[in-house]
């Protein structure tokens, strides 16, 4: 019973077509019996009896052909969709890699990086934040750039050393945001898996390492983390600036620790192997003696 039920479920279309065809054929064949007062030309009746079965046979053959090649068609369609998706993804990845690599030839961003990150050493930063002007009560009006902190020489507006808590509304803040915004876009593509961590490390990894370790730029990011929720934007639920950049910087730091551990483990293995070889040589010499 179950076999018959399964057969009906699997072959319902063929059975329906076949039943309809037989019924139509028998109906036409006995048309004179059903309608004795209505007669058809003999030629028409023969044509009808021939055409109807052929029509239903054609439908069944077409259906069986589709069923027979369905898996092949589905696989071809699936492969085409996958190929198209891969081509689109590859094209996006190429564009993104070119965008990231473009940082090296972008003079505007390179200048910002040099003035506000690379040349702003931790020694200069420690001296600047210790300036008495930043410890007054009430605090100084922002932006505040004391001349005494611009060591080793006075710097032009837009490239001055800054205190992360007291340089808001300045050209320096605007420029630093441009630099961090660029890398936040890179980080967004990383989070969306359109570019790999390996590609980032190979192109701009060094720059991100400096941004993440310099006290000034890192403290600016920390300031945003601390203060964002207090702002009207933060209270409205807007996404915190540089959220993706933070994710990328953490991933880079984790990768750095992982590589350092692997190097350390390899050195330990090499040292242990060397020690074992030395011990074996000593045992051989002792045996000879």
pLDDT digits (tens, 9 = 90+) for 57-105: 676 666 666 666 666 767 777 777 777 777 766 776 677 778 888 898 8
pLDDT of residue 50 exceeding 70, the answer is: no
Query: In the prediction, which pLDDT does 170 show?
Result: 94
Per-residue pLDDT at 39 exceeds 60 = no
Q: Quote the tokens at residue 196.
A: 């790999």
- Dump the DSSP string for the chain: -HHHHHHHHHTHHHHHHHHHHHHHHHHHHTHHHH-TT----HHHHHHHHHHHHHHHHHHHHHHHHHHHHHHHHHHHHHHHHHHHHHHHHHHHHHHHHHHHHGGGG-HHHHHHHIIIIITS-HHHHHHHHT-GGGG-SSPPPSS---GGGS-SS---TTS----TTS-TTSHHHHHHHHHHHHHHHHHHHHHTTSS-HHHHHHHHHHHHHHHHHSHHHHHHHHHHHHHGGGSHHHHTTPPPTTHHHHHHHHHHHHHHHHHHHHHHHHHHHHHHHHHHHHHHHHHHHHHH-
- Residues making up the chain, counted from first to last: 289
Give exposure, 16-44, as e/b (b: 16+ Cβ within 10 Å).
ebeeebeebbeebeebeeeeeeeeeeeee
- Between 48 and 211, the more confident residue is 211
Q: Which residues contact 145 (CB under 8 A, 6 or more apart)?
A: 160, 161, 162, 167, 170, 172
pLDDT recorded at residue 88: 67
Closest-CA residue to 144 (of 154, 155, 134, 130): 134
Q: Which of 249, 164, 175, 259 is nearest to 212 (CA)?
A: 249
Which residue's entry shows tokens 């040349």?
119
Determine the Cα–Cα distance for residues 133 and 138; give it in Å rounded to an integer.
10
Contact between 166 and 144 (Cβ < 8 Å): yes
| pLDDT one-digit tens code per residue, 126-158 | 999 999 999 898 999 999 988 766 655 678 889
Name the least confident of 95-109, 162-176, 204-218: 95-109
The residue extents of the domains of the chain are: 2-86, 106-274
Q: 138 and 119 in contact (C-beta within 8 Å)?
A: no
- What is the token pair recorded at 14? 């063929």
């Amino acid at each position: 019973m179950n076999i018959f039920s399964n057969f009906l479920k699997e072959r319902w279309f063929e059975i329906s077509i076949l039943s309809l065809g037989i019924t139509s054929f028998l109906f036409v064949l006995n048309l004179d019996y059903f309608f004795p007062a209505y007669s058809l030309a003999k030629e028409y009746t023969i044509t009808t009896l021939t055409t109807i079965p052929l029509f239903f046979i054609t439908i069944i053959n077409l259906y069986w052909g589709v069923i027979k090649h369905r898996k092949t068609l589905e696989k071809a369609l699936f492969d085409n969709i996958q190929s198209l998706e891969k081509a689109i993804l590859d094209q996006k990845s190429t564009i993104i890699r070119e965008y990231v690599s473009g940082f090296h030839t972008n003079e505007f961003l390179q200048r910002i990086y040099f003035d506000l990150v690379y040349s702003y050493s931790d020694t200069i930063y420690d001296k600047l934040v210790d300036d008495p002007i930043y410890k007054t009560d009430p605090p100084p009006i922002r932006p505040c750039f004391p001349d005494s902190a611009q060591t080793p020489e006075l710097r032009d507006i837009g490239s001055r050393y800054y205190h992360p808590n007291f340089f808001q509304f300045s050209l320096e803040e605007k420029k630093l945001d441009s630099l961090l915004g660029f890398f936040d876009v890179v980080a967004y593509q990383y989070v969306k898996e359109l570019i790999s961590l390996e590609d980032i490390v190979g192109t701009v990894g060094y720059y991100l390492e400096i941004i993440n370790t310099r006290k000034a730029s890192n403290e600016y990011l920390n300031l945003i983390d601390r203060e964002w929720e207090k702002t009207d934007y933060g209270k409205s639920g807007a996404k915190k600036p540089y959220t993706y950049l933070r994710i990328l910087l953490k991933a880079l730091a984790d990768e750095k620790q992982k590589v350092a551990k692997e190097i350390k483990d390899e050195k330990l293995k090499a040292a242990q192997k060397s020690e074992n070889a030395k011990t074996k040589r000593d045992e051989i010499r002792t045996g000879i003696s």
